[in-house]
Structures are given as structure tokens and as C-alpha cells.
Structure 1
Amino acid sequence: MSFFIETAELQRIGALIEAHAAPIYAARGIPFEQFAYVLIQPGKDGGKPRGAALRANWRAYPCSLVKVFHLVAAQLRLEDGRLSAHGELDRAMRDMILWSSNSATNYIIDLLTGTTGDTLLNEQDMNAWCERREEVNRIFAGLGWPELAGINLNQKLMDDLRYGREKVALDRSPTGHNCLTPIAMARLMHEIFSDSALLPPARLAVIRDHLARDANDPDRGRGAYQLLGYLGDALPGGTQIWSKAGRTRWLGDDRASFRRHDTLRAILPAGQEFLLTVFTQGEAIAEDDGFLPAIGALVAAELATLAPESQ
């Protein structure tokens, strides 16, 4: 785990996460191998971040967590001039994160890759189409981060089964569906919220603004806002929250159904800061609106006992 240092204090909190989650999985007959997390805190004096993790390299269907990658990809292409700014792109970037819109995400994928999903193509055109669809993978491979090994970002976001070009592309994809690992998601969130060379400060600010969540927002109760039922749901009042979550129910495809994930940055009222990414799989967990909030609350309660300067 190259980008953070494991520490005894965060490993202790990690053990509490596992002790909380394991009996719930066992009671519901779900293999505990379908649970993973990465917990990170900023390094002292700008040093290497500190953390703890369980199954950080689990390759899992990521639901809508991939949308953070698409937001970053769009900002990278805007910065290098290969994507042109316009109002519809701005609207799509906002809605992709704020409301987790699949339609907005797929519009951005079309812009990044020069592809559209539609009727079938002949063999030669389909080969060219699949090559263009690899563009988002190429963007992140170009960063050279070891934590991104094994991820896949070449599929659009769908609410059920795929048809036409999208079905052919899925069947041809060496890795199948989109997939992420908890460590890949955690590394990207760390770069977004640190003094990173990933993007200029103004572009990082755009990404952070889109990820911000307000526990007092009138839309908090809407499922699409992705706060209720997720890691930020039960944090102490006054906590600052940035997050992106995702959930699938039955999609007609066992490779993608019944997941609930979240990636969160939080700053507690007394100043303690942490990043927490959790991946889960299993119908009883995906349908449980209390599972992830309890984990977020557990981590917050443990970190609240530590002075910010001592972390």
C-alpha cells in the first residue's frame, strides 16, 4: 500500500470496523470476503498519509463510485485542451455527482471517448469503437499510480441490462464490467483533497465543490442525494462532508447486482479529518440503510477522542 503508512491507532479503529461488520455478515449468511474498507488520515506536517485497510485490492463492481473518476477525467481533458468547456458539460458534471445521474455520466463518457451507444456496428467499426471506449482507462493508466492496477472504466452506467453496442462491448471487454478497488478509490480521493499535482488548484476546487454534501440541505432526504443510508448519514452535527456513493439492486446480471459502496471525506467539528472508503456486496447489506451509517459513526466517535494535532 504505497501511498499511506499503516499506524497502530488506525489499525485499532479498523479492527473495530471489522468487529462490527463481521457478525452482521455472518447473521445474514453473506461471506465476509464481500466487505472491504480503507481508512485514511492526512500525514503530519504534510507527510505521507496514515491509514488502515481490509481487502484494499478487492476488484469489485463499483456502482456509481466510478463517477468520481469520470469527473476527474473530464477536468484533466479540460486542462489539456482535448475537451472544450460548455454549459451542457458543466450541467452534466454537476448532475453526475450531485444526483448520481447515469444519463449525465454517459454524456461525459461520449465526450471523452468519441463514442455513442446505439445500434450494432460491423466488425471493423465495432473494433474501432471499442478502442475509443478505452480512453478513460488510458487517462488513468497515464498517471502511473500503482494503486490503480486492475481497475476498468470502459463501460457506461446502466440501470439494467445492456443492448446493442454496449452489450457487444461488455462481452468483448477483457475485464467485463467496470471495476474498482478500495485502494484505487481511496488514492483518488486523497489526491483530490490534498496538495496534489493531479490538477491545478482551481480544477481541484471544482471537483471538491461537486462532492460536497450538506447534512442540512433540503434535498438530504432524497435517495439520489446519497447521504441517508451512507457513511455520512449519522456523523456529528457540524461535520463537513464530501462523498460519492453508489448502490445496485437487481440488475439482471449477478456480476453487478446488490452492491452498496461509499467514499467519504469528513472533517469533524473539532477538526479531526479522515477519508473512509467502504465496499460491500450482498443483497441483505445492499438493502440495509443502517449498515454504512453505523460504520461512519463508529469511526467518527473513535477519532473524536483524539485531538486534531495528535493525529
Structure 2
Amino acid sequence: MRQLLKLKPETIQRQNIELKAKLARAERLVAQLRAEASQLRAQIAEWQRAPVPPQIERRPRAVQRSRSTRQEPSVLASTTTQTTRQATFAQRQSRRHQVPEHRSPFVRLLLRKRLDVALLAIAGLTVAALFSLQHTRQRSVARVELPPSQPTPPTVVAPKPQTFAELVYNVPQPPQLVPSEALQAIVDGATALAASKGLPTEPLSITLIDLKTNQTAGYQNQTPRYPASVVKLFWLVACEAMLEQGLLQPDSELTSDLTAMIVHSDNDAASRIFDRITQTTSGATLSGTEYETWLKRRLQLNRFFQAASYNGLSISQKNYPIHSLQLEAPDGRELQMLDEQQQPIRSLTTTDQAARLMYELYAGKAVSTSRSQEMMTLLTRDLQPEKWKKQPNNPIAGFLGAALPADVRFASKVGMTSKARHEVAFVASPDGKISYILAVFGTDEAYSQNAEILPAISNTIFTQMTER
């Protein structure tokens, strides 16, 4: 390839001219052969139309001589014999220079075969000439597009990750969303609503994405906050990515824990999922390389998303209480994860990051289309009051879905502690006219104790999105 690319433009131009000349000669030869083929066809047709003369019976010379002797005198016989021989010789010479009008069927077949061979030769010459010209033109284009100093790079196939440390979330960049003044007015109205109810707005964050227009707006939407159980949405995606790559093997216990973690927000199930993802366990304090290995595996969860532009995200701590481990709060090696202020490292996300992940699930981009659909199914909630009101600790009462019409398509993950009330949700009307993602974090005891604020924010945003 490099030798071909070293050809100079003038050399390629000269070769093009030579090939064009060869092509012209080939075309003339084709025309000549076609003319000859036409003549051969005409001759064959004429031979086929002409009648075949009867064969002249030839008798033995001795018999002919004897009859001539009996019928004519000897002088006449001698003259007749000589005349006959001369005529026979003349006829033989004439046949040599005449067109063979009465050939046998076998000879005619041979002539037809000769015609077929000639036509095949014509086709072969034409194709060869055209191929040579096209090949030279391709070399000329290659010369323009790829100079010798820049050879075509080989196709690089990314190796399949062998461990979770090598695995990276498959959506490398956030979606291209356009800020909207109209949406910003809606978000500002929701913030004012919280303030009007006497709630502090400093611990409040809101992100709104209109899925119909890919527009967005927010309030303190890039401020990292403790996400409570909303973090389990991130653990779900990480687990599904490992299953997709064969780094985890599915089993009934894993399936059951994933359902309990997302549908019921069960901390014990989430703890088991967390341990399987990170290949770590909770327990007594560790030291030396053993602790360093444990901590590195824990922090791989952060790196999995941070490598995909989830900047500043931290999701490497479990949620408490964990009844199966008899843990009401971080203890042992969990407490070794301290920062410079000697405070436990806590999970931190923004409403933008939570809304982005829900957006990628809705769009079928998270891990794969099929796994995104499976995860959205786990997140889907039935808003029929006669159903969700019968569930203890349901994720509807006191949250965004409580104020929405019962026939709205709704998928969400809530988070709540004694000092937080959060939710990220996908909302779509039955007629498909409105479709949006809303994330609301209220990281304060005032929001935790107020069961009316998230439904009120949800209602005002849904109403204004419908009226747009």
C-alpha cells in the first residue's frame, strides 16, 4: 500500500492516459470483432437456408470403363476419359476457392463455437481494460486522501474488560440539552412554592428535562448532595453492566435482591448487591495492603461513572440501617473511609446526574437497549390510588407521583432519611403530548418531615408542562 501511495501525480496521470489509449484500442477491436461476428452469423444463416444437394453415386472405375468400351469406340472412349478427368480436376480446384455452402452439421457446430469464443474474448478484453482504468483511478484518490506520511491506521477493537476495575459506563458524555427560559420559569416557580411554605431553599435542588424538546432548566442542579436511596439507581446500572459483560453471573438471589433494592428500596438487599459489585464486605477494621485493596475496590464504583463524565460523583458508601448486618450506621472498616476532617465519606450526587441517568435509561442507552428496558420496568410505578395506598412504606405517598393523574406513565426512584426527601422520576401523559424528567433533592429535616412539598412541586410542574 505504501508503495502505491508513493506514486507521483504525474506518474498516475501518464498511466491514466496510457490506459485510456488501451481502452480505445480495445473498443476498436471490439467493434471489428462484432462486425466479423455479424458476418459469421449471416453466413451461418445462409448455410442453414440452402438445400443440401443429393450425393452423386460413384461407381468403380473398372465398371465405368467397361461400359464406355461397350458403348463407344476406343478413340471416343479415350477422349471422353480425358475430358472427364479434366472436368473433375477443374471442379476440385473450383471448390477450393468457393465458399463452402454445403458443410456438414458438425462443421456448422464448430463455426458456432468459434463465434461464441470470439464474443467471450470481446467481453474479457473490455472488462480487463475497464478494471485497469478504475484501479488506477482508485490509486489516484488514495494518493489525495492519504499521503504517504499518514498510512491508514489499523482498526482498534477495545478489549473486553476482565474485571470491574477495567469496566467503564458505556455512555461517555452527558446528553446535549439546551437551556430554556420557559422551563427555567417553571423551575423558579417550584422554588418559590417551597419558599412560600416556609421551607429553606438553600438545601433544595431541582433539575427539569423536557424530553420532547431536549431542553432543560434547574435550580442548584449542580450542587453535590447526599442522595439517600436514589444512589441505588446507580448501583443498579453498575450491576447490569457487569452482568452484560459476564463479570457477574445471574442467579435467583441476585434477581430477587435487585427487585427488592429498587421496588422496595430494601437496604439489606442493596448491601448484598453492593458487596457483589465491589467484591468487598462490611466488617472490622483492616490495615496495610488489605485495607488498601478493600478501599480501591470500593472506590471503583466512583471511577465507573466518573470516567463517563459523571464528575465529582461519589457512591462508594452503603445505606443504613442494614438489619442483616446489625448495623445502624457505618462501623469498622466503613469508618476508616475518612476525609481530612475525620468525617465519614458519604455518597454525593447532583440532581443533574440523577436526571441524566434516568434520561439514559429512558433513551435505552444505559448498558444496552434491552437492559435499559428491564431497569425501567423495575422503576415503573402504578399510580392507581387503590393499589399504592395498600402498600406500606410505598414510594408514592409524600412523593412526586401522589399528585399526578392515575393514568400517567411514571417511573421513579425515591430516597428518604431523617434529613432528606428526594426523588428522580420519568413522567409522560397517556396521549404522549408531554414527557419529562424531574429530579428534586431536599436535603434538610424540614423536607423530610413535610409530606406535602414534593407532591405540590410535582403538581405545579405537571400543570405548567401541560399548558405549554
Structure 2 length normalisation: TM-score? 0.58
Question: Does the 8 Å CA contact 1:237/1:269 hold for their aligned counterparts?
Answer: no
Q: Per the alignment, in what secondary structure is the counterpart of residue 304 of structure 1?
A: helix
Give the residue type in structure 1 aligned to 2:329.
L
Distance 1:178 1:157 in 2: 9
Q: Per the alignment, in what secondary structure is the counterpart of residue 263 of structure 1?
A: strand
Question: Does the 8 Å CA contact 2:383/2:405 hold for their aligned counterparts?
Answer: no
Task: Return 159-168 or 149-158, whichever deviates more.
Answer: 159-168
CA-CA distance at 1:167 after TM superposition = 1.6
Structure 1: which 4+ aligned runs deviate by more than 4 Å?
A: 170-175
Q: Per the alignment, in what secondary structure is the counterpart of residue 90 of structure 1?
A: helix
Give yes or no for the alignment of 1:110 onto 2:275. Answer: yes
Distance 1:299 1:17 in 2: 7
Give yes or no for the alignment of 1:85 onto 2:253. Answer: no
2:193 corresponds to which residue?
Answer: 20
Distance 1:203 1:224 in 2: 27
1:4 corresponds to which residue?
Answer: 177
Out of 415, 421, 425, the position equivalent to 1:260 is 421
Question: Does the 8 Å CA contact 2:314/2:347 hold for their aligned counterparts?
Answer: yes
2:372 corresponds to which residue?
Answer: 204
1:229 corresponds to which residue?
Answer: 398
Question: Does the 8 Å CA contact 2:205/2:442 hold for their aligned counterparts?
Answer: yes
CA-CA distance at 1:2 after TM superposition = 6.5
Distance 2:392 2:460 in 1: 23
CA-CA distance at 1:158 after TM superposition = 1.0
Q: Which runs of 5+ in 2 are unaligned?
A: 1-173, 322-327
Give the residue type in structure 2 aligned to 1:222.
Q
2:114 corresponds to which residue?
Answer: none
CA-CA distance at 1:163 after TM superposition = 1.2
**Deviations along 1:1-57, whole A, 9 cap, x unmatched?**
973111122122112112211222xx35x3x2111100011144xxxx211101111
> What does residue range 244-283 of structure 1 map to in structure 2 within 5 Å?
244-249=413-418, 258-271=419-432, 272-283=434-445
Distance 1:106 1:162 in 2: 12
Distance 2:444 2:183 in 1: 26
Distance 2:397 2:383 in 1: 9
Question: Does the 8 Å CA contact 1:151/1:179 hold for their aligned counterparts?
Answer: yes
Higher strand share: 1
Distance 2:203 2:195 in 1: 10
1:252 corresponds to which residue?
Answer: none
Q: Per the alignment, in what secondary structure is the counterpart of residue 402 of structure 2?
A: coil
Give the residue type in structure 2 aligned to 1:165.
R
2:292 corresponds to which residue?
Answer: 127
1:287 corresponds to which residue?
Answer: 449
Larger Rg, first or second structure (1 or 2): 2
Relative contact order (alpha carbons < 8 A, sep ≥ 6): 1 or 2 greater?
A: 1
Q: Per the alignment, in what secondary structure is the counterpart of residue 214 of structure 1?
A: coil
1:158 corresponds to which residue?
Answer: 320
CA-CA distance at 1:121 after TM superposition = 2.1
Give yes or no for the alignment of 1:238 onto 2:407. Answer: yes
Give the residue type in structure 1 aligned to 2:240.
Q
Distance 2:422 2:447 in 1: 10
Aligned length: 286
> What does residue range 146-225 of structure 1 map to in structure 2 within 5 Å?
148-159=310-321, 160-170=328-338, 176-196=345-365, 198-216=366-384, 218-225=387-394
Higher helix share: 2
Task: Return 93-102 or 9-18, whichever deviates more.
Answer: 9-18
Out of 216, 219, 226, the position equivalent to 1:54 is 219
Distance 1:165 1:39 in 2: 38
Distance 1:229 1:55 in 2: 22
**Deviations along 1:89-127, whole A, 9 cap, x unmatched?**
111111101000111111111111110101222333112
C-alpha distance 221-123 of structure 1, shift in aligned 2 (>3 A) = farther
Distance 1:171 1:18 in 2: 32
**Deviations along 1:270-311, whole A, 9 cap, x unmatched?**
3211100001122122111111001111111111224xxxxx
Task: Return 208-217 or 218-227, whichever deviates more.
Answer: 218-227
Distance 2:447 2:390 in 1: 20
**Deviations along 1:122-144, whole A, 9 cap, x unmatched?**
333112111111121122123x2
Give the residue type in structure 2 aligned to 1:22.
A
Question: Does the 8 Å CA contact 1:112/1:135 hold for their aligned counterparts?
Answer: no
CA-CA distance at 1:219 after TM superposition = 4.2
**Percent identity over the alignment?**
29
Q: Which runs of 5+ in 1 are unaligned?
A: 250-257, 307-311
Two-structure CA RMSD over aligned residues (Å): 2.0
Question: Does the 8 Å CA contact 1:155/1:170 hold for their aligned counterparts?
Answer: no
1:100 corresponds to which residue?
Answer: 265
Structure 1 length normalisation: TM-score? 0.86
